[in-house]
A and B are shown apart, each in its own frame.
Chain A
């Protein structure tokens, strides 16, 4: 049984979706929870078209039904979890009827999903940004974790919780310590023992204060506490929610340095641009995929002009500041990582070459790598760990309520042929390319908008013009656009910057907007040609 929740993997993770399709071909039932009837939903047995931001209500309702139907895995709950009673009490108000009213779906669907999930031999919950691009992202994730803890669909082959990562090395970046409060291998900056280990290896004292994540950095810019920014391979001048505000903060910096492979909007704002080689096609190293698989990238072509490898630029920067970062050799850097991060310890460079990638944790050179995590939940002694906690979660809904002034819900997402702000994917001739606003046909008719019309979309933060596409499968009251074409549609002018204090992610998925027809330009009498 496959529960695809807040993910249009058919377009955003197409080759992963091939594996989902194999499961469906082999008889797995798929439920697709998504406000839009996506191309992924078209492959599902049941499309569960909830209203944007009502995920916790649905998850709590499924949890309640599993408990009431006697389908909870009580042995697993007793042995491997804690906090069940409080959780069970917290979901009690979420009857199928109550959930139906909140989410805008039939009550029977809640019951059916609960039974299908709880009684399946193996079941996976797969999610992406439909869960995490909300002001309560972490709570959304925890609401899904609750379901796995309730049924024991976690920590064993074929059953689990699968967040699909959006970038080819976002997992690896975190693993390597590119997180404000972590060292490589998820050691904690503010843990004296962890820090001592890294201080010994690096031969210097390390700052014990966790840094800022991106959202906190923008707040620090606003306060004037952050005056210099060095951006590597990120395009916040297009990708931040409420982007006009973000650009203003970046304009106010004393110095902005951007290291990138292409001239992004962020690079155009920079005082200094450091041209970098293309990591995946021009340089040596590793990336770590969504399934924790560390794989080698290799240079196929030489970098153009003055573009240099990231490792050389960074080492030069350190040298200019009077320091040494170590050898400029990807393999040597990898071996240093292996000596400091236990979960990578067994991943010798040669093994990565031979095996076509290994999945962490892989603590020693005889270890085959790990295809799934959390197997300890099934160990008699839980391998000495604390039982996994249930979470008590409130349904809140989007922070920006619909109003007479802004009556439509705008949600943003991805399309098959494009990627994030389009820096790379905008460069090839995709026959599928579309930049515009998807509108429900009845909403469009009510607004006097026809397919292809130019419309103005207004949110409390600004307005953007784009072309409308009338889509009959989109639910009433919902509008959709992608973030892929900021040069044509500056969509993040509209998006809601309210962010999750636990994750730092903004509510890209839920803004309140108004859509108006832009009057056709006066053409009568205009000279032709």
Chain B
């Protein structure tokens, strides 16, 4: 008996070992070119900055982290809040929230529309959402430029309809960044929303109407609570890349309207303060992890509710 058990155990152990060997290439590549560098960056954030970029290897200091939020006067050592950093942090968070809200406002009806089409045409609508999703981010940002620039579609339309008689400057403002982010990240909202609406049980909706609920009440009390996991997943998927946006503010926001991504780049370019840039990157990563944590907690809670 014991020997048969031993053999079974041995086979299982060998199976697990083989499975580790098989997954090794993927794990090693991701460690070398993603996770490992992130760990090195954590170490860099605690080092002394080099005079021409990089760091003084092995000399440790908390200056990088200190400078994320504070600023020390060169002459009299007084300490103040780093207003520039804080305002960019605030702008990034604010724009990301607005982007999430707007994509939800447009994405929810769109996903609902797709989910209520007959199965034969549904695939085509989903396909129409997927095409922009797989199109180069830079190209889509550039396409948005065609809409918001002074001679662009939006201004031509407004002048033609007589709302304004001079082009309104939208390019290089926060509004342009918002246009761009909503446009680029909308598919990330629609796809998970659609996935959860597809499974919606319309007998529950029918029951609501049988009990004399209005359409708005059915929407608020039945549909939205049921597709909440999709709403949360979509919001997270939009919020994370919005917060780290780099290309969109660079192209549509110009040099002045920076977001966190551009501020980080600045530390590695003209700013020559790698530890500060590393500390800022880790800050962004921590905010993202916090968002993911909220998602996981919500996902497991709704799982308990339904299962």
Are both chains from one complex? no
- Residues of chain B having any CB pair with chain A under 8 Å: none
